Amino acid sequence: MAQTVEEKATAAATGASATERFQVDKTHASDTPPERVSMLARQVLEAVHATIREHQVTYAEYDALKAWLIQVGADGEWPLFLDVFVEHVVEEVANADREGSKGTIEGPFYVPDAPAFSAEATLPMRPDEKGTPMTFHGQVRAVDGTPLGGALVDIWHCDDDGFYAQFAPGIPQWNLRGRVTADENGNFTIHTIQPAPYQIPTDGATGAIIRAANWHAWRPAHLHLKVSADGHQLITTQLYFPGDPHNEDDIAAAVKAELMLDPRPSGDGVDVEYDFVLDPA
Ligand code: MBD
Ligand code: FE
């Protein structure tokens, strides 16, 4: 019983930590001109008005909406909510013209400046880290096929229980996070464990709307990556595992066919290979 309470506390802390992280890394002034702010704000508001008219929204429902919006902020869950339900379309628009590898959403759990490693690395993990051992290797190239020596592969993923270091308490700071510099041929090899499918925290305001709507809270198992090289566009992406029941109904709508791995059994674990192709800057 005590353990259940602790796990719930863990999930709530996850969403709120993402707000602090965002405020440290990403809050910056936008230079959006007033005409554009006006147009975008007006269209969003008009879509809300149209929904109210079409569905004859009541005062009770309007008050429930207000209470819920207040709670999302109080729980610190705006980064979580927005990255789960909105970011995928921003990413689609931002990267529509890219020729190289597909990107997908960053999500709320990236932390910059993870420990740095050379081209063959074992991610920081606990001595008894649970999970299937996994070796992830590949090459970083330009769109013309030139290997990008010294490219940076910044990887982060959750543990075998679906928890991210620095967002769920009790996990070593840099667990399953690292920045790996590829060798002179753009090759890298990363030893880690296979991440678990991930259920977004259900005990805060984001969970409340998921429950109220009778949706589910699952993301399929995934690796997060930022891959970059001098003179090239950074890609933020994720990689997925075939057969995961939530590849088809990811709550964050961030799965793409091009991002599917092809794991092969190897020793007591799996071996996965994926190459990244970067567009010129
Ligand atoms: C995650 O791990 C994630 O990747 C996203 C996009 C949202 C919530 C949790
Ligand atoms: Fe994630």
**Residue 49 confidence (pLDDT) above 70:** yes
Mutate which of 80, 198, 250 to test ligand 1's pocket (most atoms within 8 Å of Cβ)?
198
b/e burial code for range 86-97 (CB count within 10 A of at least 16 → b): ebbeebeeebee
The phi and psi torsions of 240 (rounded to 5 degrees) equal: -125, 165
Q: Is 107 in the pocket of ligand 1 (CB under 6 A)?
A: yes
- At 6 the pLDDT is 41
Are 280 and 142 spatial neighbours (Cβ–Cβ below 8 Å)? yes
Average pLDDT value over all residues in the chain:
93
Q: Report how far apart, in Å, the C-alpha atoms of 76 and of each of 15, 19, 84, 205 are.
A: 6, 5, 14, 9
- 12: pLDDT confidence band, cut at 50, 70 and 90? low
Are 139 and 186 spatial neighbours (Cβ–Cβ below 8 Å)? yes
Sign of the torsion angle spanned by Cα atoms 52, 57, 58, 60: negative
**Residue 193 confidence (pLDDT) above 80:** yes
Question: What would the mean pLDDT of 127-134 be, rounded to a whole number?
Answer: 97
- At 238 the pLDDT is 98
- 5: pLDDT confidence band, cut at 50, 70 and 90? very low
**Spacing, Cα 269 to ligand 2 middle (Å):** 21
Domains of the chain: 1-281 (2.60.130.10)
Please tell me the distance from the alpha carbon of residue 277 to that of residue 259, in angstroms, as a whole number.
Answer: 13
Query: Closest Cα partner for 158 from 215, 110, 228?
Result: 110
Q: Is 84 in the pocket of ligand 1 (CB under 6 A)?
A: yes
Q: Is 100 in the pocket of ligand 1 (CB under 6 A)?
A: no
Please tell me the distance from the alpha carbon of residue 156 to that of residue 171, in angstroms, as a whole number.
Answer: 14
b/e burial code for range 195-209 (CB count within 10 A of at least 16 → b): bbbbbbbbbbbbbbb
**Residue 44 confidence (pLDDT) above 80:** yes
Atom of ligand 1 nearest to the CA of 107: 6
- In the chain, % of residues over pLDDT 70: 95
Looking at the whole model, is its pTM more than 0.85? yes
Q: Is 198 in the pocket of ligand 1 (CB under 6 A)?
A: yes
> Residue 184 gets which letter from DSSP?
T
**Residue 11 confidence (pLDDT) above 70:** no
Of the bound ligands, which one is closest to the alpha carbon of residue 206? Answer: 1
- At 28 the pLDDT is 67
- At 16 the pLDDT is 80
Please tell me the distance from the alpha carbon of residue 99 to that of residue 129, in angstroms, as a whole number.
Answer: 38
Q: How many CB atoms within 10 Å of residue 64?
A: 13
For atom 4 of ligand 1, which residue has the closest CA?
Answer: 107
Mutate which of 17, 21, 84, 251 to test ligand 1's pocket (most atoms within 8 Å of Cβ)?
84
Q: Is 105 in the pocket of ligand 1 (CB under 6 A)?
A: yes
Q: What share of the chain is helix, strand, coil (3-state, %, to 5)?
A: 30, 25, 45
> Residue 233: which H helix or E strand, with range?
none
Please tell me the distance from the alpha carbon of residue 94 to that of residue 98, in angstroms, as a whole number.
Answer: 9
